[in-house]
Structure 1
Amino acid sequence: MSCLGNIIWIIFGGFFNALGWFFTGCLWSITIVGIPIGLQCFKMARLQLAPFGKEVVTRDDSSVSLLLNILWIIFGGFALCISNLISAFFLCITIVGIPFAAQSLKLAKLSLMPFGKEII
């Protein structure tokens, strides 16, 4: 079921949101200081392509993760969160789209605070 869900997810908007994560990661990776943030963006782009069957758990609650999350919200996370919320709104219109909207809401929450998280 998760394979079919991921295929449908890619067709109905997951690809475009993954492109947003990818381009944001490329922009962050231009500078040496931004490379760790860019790598996290690439991980989230991979999750954005196939969110079904995967779980996100908190791995690290250190002050460094908190600082990176605050910088992330200011410099890019808010726009990606809004794009996932818009996707969730349109997917929630039909009954068939509700599971996809739930995944989009999970990714919207992750778009605000991605650092210190691990994808299982």
Structure 2
Amino acid sequence: MRTLGNVLWFILGGAIMGLGWWLAGVLAFVTIVGIPWGRSCFVIGLFSFFPFGQEAISREELTQKSDLGTGGFGCLGNVLWFIFLGWWLALGHLVSAIALFITIIGIPFGIQHLKLAGVALSPIGKTIVSKEVAAAARMHNATTTVSKLREK
């Protein structure tokens, strides 16, 4: 089912938004200081090409460790990203989602566009993993939290 969803997604508009992400990545690379953002654009562009079966998750949630992108610098990076490129990509995903919601068949694709719009607003500190890996990380975090609460 994921494969069919990804093929239909790619044909019916996913390719356009994925190319939009890659264009943003090229623009970021041209500025030299935007290279870290550009790398993220290419990763999320691939995610935008084939989103079914994958999920964007915080690296801190995945690894239970803070890093440069999940702390204060990541927040600053997300603010800069939003100002220069993020809102354009989010707007593209939002317009695509609204167009797909008009058709009943397009609702699952519209939901994917909304998820990608959320990623477009603040991609720093996130990574793309399969839905199973994201669920396993969340289950592990929940188990750890419950264990800590029981110790109190």
With structure 1 as the length reference, what TM-score do the two structures score?
Answer: 0.96
List gaps (5 residues or longer) in structure 2. 61-69, 130-152
* Percent identical residues: 47
How far, CA to CA, are the matches of 1:113 and 1:53 in structure 2? 21
The Cα shift of 1:7 comes to 0.6
RMSD of Structure 2 on Structure 1 (CA): 0.9
What are the superposed Cα offsets for residues 73-120 of structure 1, whole Å, 9 maximum, x if unpaired?
A: 000110100000000001111221111111000000100000100111
Query: Which residue is equivalent to 1:98?
Result: 107
Q: Comparing both structures, which one devotes a greater share of its residues to helix?
A: 2
The alignment of Structure 1 onto Structure 2 pairs a total of residues equal to 120
What are the superposed Cα offsets for residues 34-87 of structure 1, whole Å, 9 maximum, x if unpaired?
A: 111100000110000000000111114311110110000000110100000000
Larger Rg: 2
Is 1:76 aligned with 2:85?
A: yes
Moved over 3 A (4+): none
**What's the secondary structure of 2:57's corresponding residue?**
strand
Amino acid at match of 1:44: I
How far, CA to CA, are the matches of 1:31 and 1:93 in structure 2? 38
**What's the secondary structure of 1:118's corresponding residue?**
strand
List gaps (5 residues or longer) in structure 1. none
